[in-house]
Amino acid sequence: MNKSVERWRESPILEYLAELHREIGAMQDGAVATYIPELAKADPNWFGICVVTANGGTYEVGDSRQTFTVQSISKPFVYGLALEDKGRADVMRKISVEPTGDAFNSISLDPTTGRPRNPMINAGAIAATSLIEGKTPQVQLQRMLLMFELYAGRKLAVDEAVYRSESETGHRNRAIGYMLRNFNVLTEDPMPVVERYFKQCSILVTCHDLAVMAATLANRGINPITGKQAIRGEYVESVLGVMGTCGMYNYAGEWFYDVGLPAKSGVSGGIIVVVPGQLGIGVFSPLLDPQGNSVRGIRVCDALSRHWDLHLFNRPGLGRSAIRTKATGVDFHSMRVRTPEESRVLSTCGSAIRLLQLQGNLTFAAAENVIREIMDGAEATEYLVLDFRRVLIISESASRLFHATLVKFAEANQDLVFCNLDHLPTLRRCMKAKFGSRFDEQFRVFADNDAALEWCENRLLAAHLPHAIGQERVSPADYEFFHGLTADEVQVLASQLTNRTWNAGEVIINIGDEANALFFLASGLVSVVLPVAAGQRKRLATFSAGMAFGEMAVIDHAPRSAMIVADTEVSCDELSVADFEALGTTHPPIKIKLLENIALGLSRKLRKANRQLSVVE
């Protein structure tokens, strides 16, 4: 066994990355960047790959913990901070978002406005750096560094040697700074901004950091390792937007065509790739192609995009319908055990109740599907239950569609109720925002479809039956387990009964209790419930007057296996197990009839449970 366990320590995902690292590591094409002298010291053999998923799964091979300077990969992150600090409109006035097709160090200012074409070229990046808030340049730099630390999930530092090297040779960027000043894109002295930009490019990161940073963007701005927010979710799409069209210098079009993912590369040899909602990729290899992108890095990303189906435009269709099952109140009932009269009404009029069980990711198109189904049957529906138990996520737009539908139901005097929503706060928030103070009254939510169905059934029954439900009082002669007994036999048994009462909410039987009596319900309602996860209870059945409970434990002598709770004030007649057993010798005919009735009751419950099992599965 040990050997097999050993094998199991290697995930097939890690194995694939190791194989890719071996294969692509053999390539020696490209050259280390030399335009900043300090960068030329990089070892051309360095090669690391790291993948971090949006919920923190981490896979890394090769030199994934080797530090290098972040360079241009800093640009989208600083742009994101500028968006947070100034808002989208103000930033857009300073920096456009059009791809240029030009090289990374081209000046690319709009000839009339001087606005840099996009924030991924140096001009746009320097403009973004200038937009970071802070009373002093020192504070601005500190805020920027803090932002990178939130993304990476660890303390970071500037490589002072690289910074000095950048500063000593960065005349082109100084020229860009003054051009921006000339057009009033920068309104302050451009030199401190350019120096801050050099420091920003000289922050030391690892390939693992890059993957965590990318995963943070993939996870709507929340670092999946630390759980901390690095950027507000609403700005993530803007950062990814410019990475998508402008992230790979003048290779951006081909990149998006082949790899189909927002990305950013840097001249020190790093590439980050973001797969929204799924994962982040960091690759590091300093050998660059003429456009300034890591040769091995591009190969790795291309392979991962293909092998893992990550291309954003390579998406399957809608898949299975958002509607898992449809049922009406004729074939799907609540666990409430109904009297024959009530059952008759439900089987005649139950089609006015509809249940739709939804599933999967309720994006706009999936919700549209549900709305179409609702409308197809709206004519005959008086009560509609939407069960969200198997819904994994719901979007804002889908939530708004359900709100609009609920309003239509209310206008038409039809009831639309919801259940199993605990895991979907988006829908509740949307309803609250729309309904305001009328929220509780308009938006009816039940814990599960059983409770929702019972509510609908009760409303339907109240409309069709003259007398109130569950209010009658039954005498022993009418107990269902007494069926077939003569008047004398009823008399004999009744004399052995003890009457007890409970208030609503009281526990009549607890799990594990010794089984010492059989209960006949004279008046009120009781429910059989099971505790399920996290303090919740699942109802197995509800009984009304005339019915019996507690017979299973009497038969098999096992401790009670479910709770019985009084739903209303309850009055019961108890028959002790000792008296029940003694009947076998004192009154065999009574015992036989009781046993037949008990077996009959059990077999009815079993049939119902089996039917329920075949529906839910």
Token pair for 468:
């109130």
In the set 151, 163, 197, 235, the catalytic residue is 197
Alpha-carbon dihedral angle through residues 603, 616, 372, 410, given to the nearest 10 degrees: 60
Given a contact cutoff of 8 angstroms between Cβ atoms, the answer to whether 352 and 334 are in contact is no
Choose one: 17-25, 372-380, 456-464, 470-478; the region binding its own copies (CB under 8 A).
372-380
- The smaller minimum CB distance to its own copies, of residues 473 and 607, is found at 607
- The smaller minimum CB distance to its own copies, of residues 238 and 294, is found at 238
Strand pairing report for 570-576 and 498-502: antiparallel
Q: Contacting its own copies (CB under 8 A), which of 238, 294, 357, 544?
A: 238
- 3 tagged catalytic: no
Using CB under 8 A as the binding rule, whether residue 360 contacts its own copies is answered as: yes
Choose one: 179-187, 234-242, 490-498, 506-514; the region binding its own copies (CB under 8 A).
234-242
- The smaller minimum CB distance to its own copies, of residues 139 and 599, is found at 599
Q: Which amino acid is at 300?
A: V
- The smaller minimum CB distance to its own copies, of residues 41 and 423, is found at 423
In the set 52, 70, 205, 267, the catalytic residue is 267
What is the DSSP secondary structure assignment for residue 495, as one 8-state letter?
T
DSSP letters spanning 561-577: -SEEEESS-EEEEEEEH
Q: Contacting its own copies (CB under 8 A), which of 48, 153, 170, 244?
A: 244
Q: Contacting its own copies (CB under 8 A), which of 44, 87, 227, 253?
A: 253
- The smaller minimum CB distance to its own copies, of residues 347 and 397, is found at 397
What is the DSSP secondary structure assignment for residue 186, as one 8-state letter?
S
Query: Which are the contacts of 561, defined by CB distance < 8 A and separation ≥ 6?
Result: 511, 552, 553
Choose one: 30-38, 133-141, 391-399, 487-495; the region binding its own copies (CB under 8 A).
391-399
Using CB under 8 A as the binding rule, whether residue 112 contacts its own copies is answered as: no
- 163 tagged catalytic: no
The interface with its own copies within residues 570-609 (CB under 8 A) comprises 584, 588-589, 591-592, 595-596, 598-600, 602-607, 609
Choose one: 158-166, 456-464, 547-555, 566-574; the region binding its own copies (CB under 8 A).
547-555
Q: Is the dihedral of CA 154, 160, 164, 165 positive or negative?
A: negative
Given a contact cutoff of 8 angstroms between Cβ atoms, the answer to whether 269 and 297 are in contact is yes
- The smaller minimum CB distance to its own copies, of residues 220 and 444, is found at 220
The interface with its own copies within residues 396-435 (CB under 8 A) comprises 396-397, 400-401, 404-405, 408, 411-414, 423
- The smaller minimum CB distance to its own copies, of residues 143 and 591, is found at 591
Using CB under 8 A as the binding rule, whether residue 559 contacts its own copies is answered as: no
Q: Which amino acid is at 207?
A: C
Using CB under 8 A as the binding rule, whether residue 117 contacts its own copies is answered as: yes
Question: What are the beta bridge partners of residue 384?
Answer: 354, 416
What is the smallest separation between the CB atom of 196 and its own copies, expressed in angstroms?
A: 25
Rounded to whole angstroms, the Cα distance separating 132 from 129 reads 6
Using CB under 8 A as the binding rule, whether residue 320 contacts its own copies is answered as: yes
The interface with its own copies within residues 130-149 (CB under 8 A) comprises none
Classify residue 201 as exposed, middle or buried by CB count within 10 Å of its CB (0-12, 13-18, 19+): buried
Count of residues touching its own copies (by CB under 8 A): 128
Given a contact cutoff of 8 angstroms between Cβ atoms, the answer to whether 562 and 549 are in contact is no
In the set 59, 79, 151, 249, the catalytic residue is 249
Q: Contacting its own copies (CB under 8 A), which of 25, 101, 134, 192?
A: 101
The interface with its own copies within residues 208-227 (CB under 8 A) comprises 218-220, 222
Using CB under 8 A as the binding rule, whether residue 111 contacts its own copies is answered as: no
Among residues 191, 232, 230, 192, which one has the least CA distance to residue 214?
A: 230
Q: Contacting its own copies (CB under 8 A), which of 19, 29, 188, 254?
A: 254
The interface with its own copies within residues 7-26 (CB under 8 A) comprises 7-9, 11-13, 15-16
Rounded to whole angstroms, the Cα distance separating 299 from 114 reads 36
Q: Give phi and psi for 263, each to the nearest 5.
A: -155, 165
Q: Contacting its own copies (CB under 8 A), which of 31, 157, 191, 375?
A: 375
Given a contact cutoff of 8 angstroms between Cβ atoms, the answer to whether 108 and 102 are in contact is yes
The interface with its own copies within residues 23-62 (CB under 8 A) comprises 53-55, 57
- The smaller minimum CB distance to its own copies, of residues 199 and 403, is found at 403
Using CB under 8 A as the binding rule, whether residue 339 contacts its own copies is answered as: no
- The smaller minimum CB distance to its own copies, of residues 317 and 535, is found at 317
Given a contact cutoff of 8 angstroms between Cβ atoms, the answer to whether 130 and 188 are in contact is yes
Using CB under 8 A as the binding rule, whether residue 315 contacts its own copies is answered as: yes
What is the smallest separation between the CB atom of 460 and its own copies, expressed in angstroms?
A: 15
- Residue the block writes with tokens 């009815």: 604
- 155 tagged catalytic: no
What is the smallest separation between the CB atom of 70 and its own copies, expressed in angstroms?
A: 22
- Residue the block writes with tokens 């996860």: 533
Rounded to whole angstroms, the Cα distance separating 203 from 572 reads 77
Given a contact cutoff of 8 angstroms between Cβ atoms, the answer to whether 192 and 144 are in contact is no
Q: Contacting its own copies (CB under 8 A), which of 169, 260, 435, 478?
A: 260
Given a contact cutoff of 8 angstroms between Cβ atoms, the answer to whether 353 and 416 are in contact is no
SS3 content of the chain, % helix, strand, coil (to 5): 50, 20, 35
In the set 59, 61, 64, 72, the catalytic residue is 72
Q: Is the dihedral of CA 154, 159, 160, 163 positive or negative?
A: negative
What is the smallest separation between the CB atom of 209 and its own copies, expressed in angstroms?
A: 20
Strand pairing report for 537-543 and 526-531: antiparallel
- If phi > 0 it is left, if psi is from -120 to 50 it is alpha, else beta; for residue 381 that is beta
Token pair for 264:
């950013």
In the set 59, 70, 75, 294, the catalytic residue is 75
- Give strand ranges (E) for 164-242: 204-205
Token pair for 299:
């190969």
- The smaller minimum CB distance to its own copies, of residues 25 and 276, is found at 276
- 249 tagged catalytic: yes
Fill in the per-residue mask, 263 to 282: x = in contact with its own copies (CB under 8 A), - = not in contact. Answer: ------------xxxxx---
- 151 tagged catalytic: no
Rounded to whole angstroms, the Cα distance separating 528 from 561 reads 10
- Which residues belong to the active site? 72, 75, 197, 249, 267
